Structure 1
Amino acid sequence: MSIEYYPLSFGLIIGFVNWNFHKYKPLIGVSLSVLASYISFSIAYFSLGIFGYTRDMILANTDYAISDDLIGTLAFIISTSVIAPLLVFYLYRFIFTIQKTTFSKVIILISIVLLGLIQYGASVFYETFNSYLLWQVIMALAIQLLINQKINKKVL
């Protein structure tokens, strides 16, 4: 699957699975879910360019010798493991009722750490597995846990 379709599939899955949990009418909620997914994907994707520009500025103004591979890996990890998830969590607060609790902060932190480790592993092992699919699974699980906090507390 091409990379442009990952936000579409993610937004549709989250939107349809949580059909009854939207703040708005269900069809509008699904549309907003897809829109939020594309917005977070686009901002994270274009943040790679910002990291490249920042790297060039640092290297031009200092005598530090930093490997291009290291900077590229760090930029990719930060973009896909920190910026994109934080944007997804932030934008989905407008679509679903997500409570700000200690539990939600822990879920967000765990998902960011897991995504960082997976992206680092993908960069070290040269993409022998599709890290984007794992990204979708981890983020979908985290969003489900955040949306269904009340149900989770009743079960526990």
Structure 2
Amino acid sequence: MMSVLALDFVPMETDDLEWIAAQDRELYPFPWSEQNFADSIIAGYGCWTLFEGGQRVGYAVLMMVLDEAHILNISVSKARQGLGLGRRLLDHLGAVARAAGARQMFLEVRPSNTPALAMYGKAGFETIGRRKGYYPAVNGREDALVMRLPL
């Protein structure tokens, strides 16, 4: 198993966007665009790039609404998945949310994304609802599970 090098959670910058959008295209059939990430930075969302040993390996976007945190995107590059980096990124978002006064954190996830569901479950998220036809899918639409974590 590959080891994990030193991790740094750095606020996302415009220099990161080309790499992040390329990762999103590799990871998802319906990815965010570079402009979606740029708009998130402009909107003041918590946008983070995860560096491992000085190399970009992941990214996340967190939106705060009053005392709630909403994870809009959390991703680790394909080559570095399965090493616990997603969990480290998730824990970082939780710390950022708590520091901003959030009392709970929410996210939506595809029911077909079993690795993410396992990670969220281990982190203490509970499924609290389902949004019908939330995500575009190859054959129409896919539901989203709504998950919540008390902070």
TM-score normalised by the chain length of structure 2: 0.29
TM-score normalised by the chain length of structure 1: 0.28
1 or 2, which has the higher helix percentage? 1
1 or 2, which has the higher strand percentage? 2
Larger Rg: 1
Greater RCO between the two (CA within 8 Å, min separation 6)? Answer: 1
